[in-house]
Amino acid sequence: MQTVNTLDMLRTALRQLRGDGKLIALVPTMGALHEGHLTLVRRGHEVADCVVASIFVNPKQFGPNEDLNAYPRQLAADAALLEGEGCALLWAPAVEAMYPTGFATNISVAGISDGLCGAARPGHFDGVATVVCKLFQQVQPDVALFGEKDFQQLAVIRAMARDLDLTHPHVGAIIGVPTVREADGLAMSSRNRYLSPDQRVAATGMPRAMQTAIARLDSGADVAAVLAELEAEIIAAGFASVDYAVLADSTSLAPLTILTAAPARLLVAARIGGTRLIDNMAVNPLQA
Ligand code: PAF
């Protein structure tokens, strides 16, 4: 695997890959790789001839009080993991290469970026949309893969790609890959490493409470009552607060007060100690 950190090196390496007529899958990441990221790479190999991964801790998607400086950086270890998965190329630009002096553009996908995590993290999805748009332009992959763990991020990226006509010819398809979970159900996340042993145990209460909520929805329980119980269960498990616990339309992320035949998603964000965890699960639509 070749690692490149300038746009010139990236373009040369991509020309070589494309020269061989290969279909390219892009897996954008911020590093601190875990099994969830490696699953994206494996899926990339199923849908394309070679996988290009990027590692860039994007300052534009961190708020002033967020963990940009503390965010784990472990390029050598991450590169070894990607190489082990057969990645062809790693794009690991410095901040100055991604955002040279004078960089002044912001991409904002209105509406879908505003609620849920967008409400607690103003500007976060602008930062994501801006960097992902740049990554798409830089790599021009045939497909790009993102984890469903960040479900709102995936929806924002799909909307951005649709609105800016990026899905053809540059990024033929944006593929959402199901969340990878630890054996006890906790969704894998680079932020799980911030949890103390006690918090790590308590954190499993979130996916457990979500499964219970989905079973209650399946049995026809009232949506508002189920969401209230879900919040209470998450707090009882040891979380300090719940930012949101919402049933939403899977595409628009508009909140739902009743289940319909359209695909729906249960989305939760909650704080435990200083760590904010998110999770989401598909909800069975109402049967006709
Ligand atoms: O999900 C992430 O790791 C990041 O938000 C992404 C998509 C790589 C953009 O920086």
**Separation between Cα atoms, residue 229 and residue 141, nearest integer Å:** 43
User: Does residue 54 have its Cβ closer than 6 Å to ligand 1?
Assistant: no
Host domain of residue 139 = 2-177
User: Does residue 153 have its Cβ closer than 6 Å to ligand 1?
Assistant: yes
Instruction: Using a cut of 0.75, tell me whether the model's pTM lies above it.
Output: yes
Q: Which residues are the active-site residues?
A: 37
Contact of 129 with 166, CB cutoff 8 Å:
no
Pairing of strands 275-283, 2-4: unpaired
At which of 145, 177, 209 does a domain end?
177
3-state secondary structure of 284: coil
Check whether residue 171 and residue 73 sit in a common domain.
yes
Check whether residue 89 and residue 210 sit in a common domain.
no
* 190 domain-assigned: no
At which of 177, 207, 223 does a domain end?
177
Q: Whose CA is nearest to atom 2 of ligand 1?
A: 29
Q: What is the SS3 string spanning 249-260? A: ECCCCCECCCCC
Q: How far is the CA of 170 from the centre of ligand 1 (A)?
A: 19
Which of 52, 61, 68, 175 for a ligand 1 pocket mutation test, highest count of atoms within 8 Å of Cβ? 61
pLDDT in tens, the chain (288 residues): 999 999 999 999 999 999 878 999 999 999 999 999 999 999 999 999 999 999 999 999 999 989 899 999 999 999 999 999 999 999 999 999 999 999 999 999 999 999 999 999 999 999 999 999 999 999 999 999 999 999 999 999 999 999 999 987 677 799 999 999 999 999 999 999 999 999 999 999 999 999 999 999 999 999 999 999 999 999 999 999 999 999 999 999 999 999 999 999 999 999 999 999 999 999 988 876
